[in-house]
Amino acid sequence: MKVTVARPTGLCFGVRRALLELENALKEHGRIYGLGSPIHNPQEIERLQNLGLIVVETPGEVPSGQPAFIRAHGISPEVRDGLACRTQLIVDGTCPFVRNVQEKAAFLKQEGYRLVVVGDAAHPEVQGILGYAGNGACVVSRVSDIPAGLEKGKTGVVCQTTQKVSVLQDIVQALAARAAELRVYNTICSATLERQRAVMELAPRVDGMIVIGGRNSANTGKLVEISKGCGVPTLWIEHSDELEGGWIQGKEKIGIAAGASTPDWLIQELISTLESARSPRGKD
């Protein structure tokens, strides 16, 4: 059995950078309050909790004056103000690519555009962006979500950084046919595109693809969709413990891809598990 890892795959620049800042802060303060899970990966969260991370959902849960951490997804100006009322010790791990979307949304709002945010309405990154987008902004995840009434006025588009290019293309095409004036910023980040392309390139060369990453990770889910869309049997796992011998049996070439929130150590564990499966005594 040959095991090939998609390149690039796993932790993206933004999450790696945020985790580094978080770990440095944990070393300095011993304990830090993270606003939302800093990474969509339960195994990594458990490791960080053991180092002193306490995950909370709202600024009101941060004890006054205690250090707080903003994850790579970023937050809205309103939530940031709420946090600043609780503490001045804020470690900001907002990814620069997410910051760029927030700035583009604020710019379009200022220029009088009605904002369409292409993305998943429930995703924290999108909720943060909406805080910059102004009243009347809407979230669209498919063409049928596009609201009526765009024939007048100006429509601006930004996109959740982890969306599939094809989703943005379809929505922009439909908007172009309806909106009186349209201004689009493609804010899908290069890390996402590169990881999606790596899966597309690897899928035709393997008998099966294992995608490792949190089940709550949107970008991992997109990699699974892409791999399945290439017609290759695809297994989505969070941890190498979930690997069943039956699935790999009969497959000579296995591909591995990992979401942008999957830490290196989980990928490494999966490779070791596959290597032991290849050699029952783990020695050849």
Minimum CB separation from ligand SF4 for residue 225, in Å? 16
Q: Which stretch binds ligand SF4 (CB under 6 A): 95-103, 130-138, 143-151, 209-217?
A: 95-103
* Structural contact between residues 59 and 86, judged by C-beta atoms closer than 8 angstroms: yes
Residue 102 interacting with ligand SF4 (CB under 6 A): no
Residue 19 interacting with ligand SF4 (CB under 6 A): no
Residue 13 interacting with ligand SF4 (CB under 6 A): yes
Interface of this chain with ligand SF4, residues 176 to 235, rule: CB under 6 A = 189, 191-192
Residue 91: which region, alpha, beta or left (left: phi > 0; alpha: psi -120 to 50)? beta
Burial class (CB in 10 A: 0-12, 13-18, 19+), 41: buried
Minimum CB separation from ligand SF4 for residue 58, in Å? 22
Out of 5, 22, 32, 95, name the contact with ligand SF4 by CB under 6 A. Answer: 95
**Residue 242 designated active-site:** no
Interface of this chain with ligand SF4, residues 42 to 81, rule: CB under 6 A = 72
Minimum CB separation from ligand SF4 for residue 161, in Å? 4
Burial class (CB in 10 A: 0-12, 13-18, 19+), 17: middle
CB closer to ligand SF4 out of 120 and 275: 120
CB closer to ligand SF4 out of 194 and 269: 194
Residue 15 interacting with ligand SF4 (CB under 6 A): yes
Burial class (CB in 10 A: 0-12, 13-18, 19+), 160: buried
- Which residues participate in catalysis according to the annotation? 125
Residues that bind ligand SF4 (CB under 6 A): 12-15, 72, 95, 97-98, 161-162, 189, 191-192, 260
